[in-house]
Amino acid sequence: MTVRYLQYLQGLAVHRSAAPAITEIPVSDKQAGPYGIAAGPDGALWLTYVHSGRIARLTVGGELTDYPLDSAACRPTVITAGPDGALWFTRSQDHRIGRITPEGAAASYPLPTPGSGPFGITAGPDDAMWFTQMNTDRIGRITGTGDITEFSLPTPGGFPSAITAGPDGALWFTLNQANAIGRITVDGHIAIHSLPTPDAAPVGITSDGTALWFVEIAVGQIGRIDVNGRIAEFPLPDRAARPHAIVAASTADCWFTEWGANRIGHITVSGEIAEYDLPSPSCEPHGITLGPDGALWAALETGCVARLVP
């Protein structure tokens, strides 16, 4: 049963400040569109360039390597490390799942359902990759050899978006247009948890090892759902901030991008929120990840990567 715990600003310790130790590293021109970012098994950061069909590798020392894909229009979107030592990513425009090794060898796999629009992707507990199919209301699973299984969702038009492995051995995902959080087991059993706030439009989701945290882009809130389906929501000081992606640094210690407000945010389990302004105006922060150096790294669609030292 869904339980709502209203968390208003009264009693919350909320503050904004200039970002301590934030640096921006140029990685492309403004037309390339850095979007997704992930820490790789090789100790580097890996990026998708959504507008130019490329994958990039960035070391913590700033060395950049660029890998063009076989289609400049494939729209590589979310990227994550797989259990096989490679990076896996979604290609939302040509409806394929991509794979690239740390050495830069790339391959891709077409999805069985036409026009499916894959977006979120994560490594599952079963040594496979799990991904969302925004346009066709499905969750997909792909093995290391490219075998694909699709699971239909009971939410027509729900727009499944981000997905992450949960602490309970299941996969958890956001349903942007169904205003819900979904859960699917590795054998395909599905549960749907409706959000208390109408039209919240959840997008990014992450696990902190005990619960799931997600962003509500349309209403400027951060949500938390435990494995039993209990939901808490935390309003941001700026309800128009449009939080987009979220990552857990540790238990109850999450960082998120504010795409509409040009900031990186931080939230604890008690609802304490901090916000840090990015140096460049209107830089459109999207994906965020915990780097191998312990810093937070965010992809800025205008052509940079931001590094924030907590």
Query: What is the Cα–Cα distance from 89 to 300, expressed in whole angstroms?
Result: 18
For every residue of 18-72, DSSP letters joined together read EPTTEEEEE-S-TTT-EEEEEE-TTSSEEEEETTTTEEEEE-TT--EEEEE-S-T
Catalytic status, residue 286:
yes
Beta pairing partners, 90 = 97
- The active-site residue out of 51, 95, 193, 286 is 286
Binding-site residues for Mg(2+), in ranges, read 284, 301
Q: Is 90 helix (H, G, I), strand (E, B) or coil?
A: strand
Binding-site residues for substrate, in ranges, read 244
Structure tokens at 257: 């991008």
Using CA atoms, how far residue 194 sits from 99, 123, 157, 183, 239, in Å, is 33, 25, 15, 12, 20
What are phi and psi for residue 73, nearest 5 degrees?
A: -105, 15
Binding-site residues, in ranges, read 244, 284, 301
Which residues are marked as active site? 286
